[in-house]
Amino acid sequence: MKAMLLKTDSGLRGSSPTDHDAWTKFRRRLETMKPGTWIRMEWASPRNPKHHRKFMALLQLITENSETYNTVAKALVAVKLCTGHFDLLADPTTGEIIRIPKSIAFESLPQEEFDLFYSAAIDAVLQVILPQLDPDKAERLLDMIVEGWA
């Protein structure tokens, strides 16, 4: 079960009817479990969805202004490599050191770390990937892309 929950004065509640149903079922299950029963649980504090949309808009901006990084997947890898968001690994066949981009999934990168990554991403895009783009114009274009998604 996965559900997005919101803490209120009266306790936790689901952020949607589906999430609330899932939470209610889980709570009932907890109340009826016998002592000694095991349960596996994961939890995370989600990132700011508006901030995530703005990052996706940044990737879209790259794809619209670059022949090299003309897909969101390519743009994402380029941003990760330019920001240093990668692990180093020796290629087992050649011994060559290669860069493996790290995940930016909600579960693997908390909001505080995403804030730093996003800031580095903006710098990388303006300095390396799209150096012809003026920072003010880039900000206006990002806002236009995000507004178009609303």
Q: Look at residue 149 and tell me whether its pLDDT is greater than 70.
A: no
b/e code 85-119 from CB counts within 10 Å (16+ = b) = beeeeeeeeeeeeeeeeeebeeeebeeeebeebbe
Per residue in 35-55, pLDDT (tens digit) is 999 998 877 777 787 888 899
The pTM of the whole model exceeds 0.75: no
Q: What is the mean pLDDT of residues 103-121?
A: 89
Cα distances (angstroms) measured from residue 79 to each of 12, 14, 18 = 37, 34, 35
**Rounded Cα distance, 124 and 50, in Å:** 21
Query: Is the distance from CB of 125 to CB of 79 less than 8 angstroms?
Result: yes
Cα distances (angstroms) measured from residue 32 to each of 25, 26, 27, 35 = 11, 10, 9, 9
Per residue in 60-109, pLDDT (tens digit) is 999 999 999 999 999 999 999 999 999 999 999 999 999 999 999 877 78
Q: In terms of DSSP bridges, do strands 86-90 and 97-101 run parallel, antiparallel, or are they unpaired?
A: antiparallel
What is the percent of the chain with per-residue pLDDT over 90, rounded to a whole number? 64
* 73 or 111: which leads in pLDDT: 73
In this structure, what DSSP letter does residue 116 have?
H
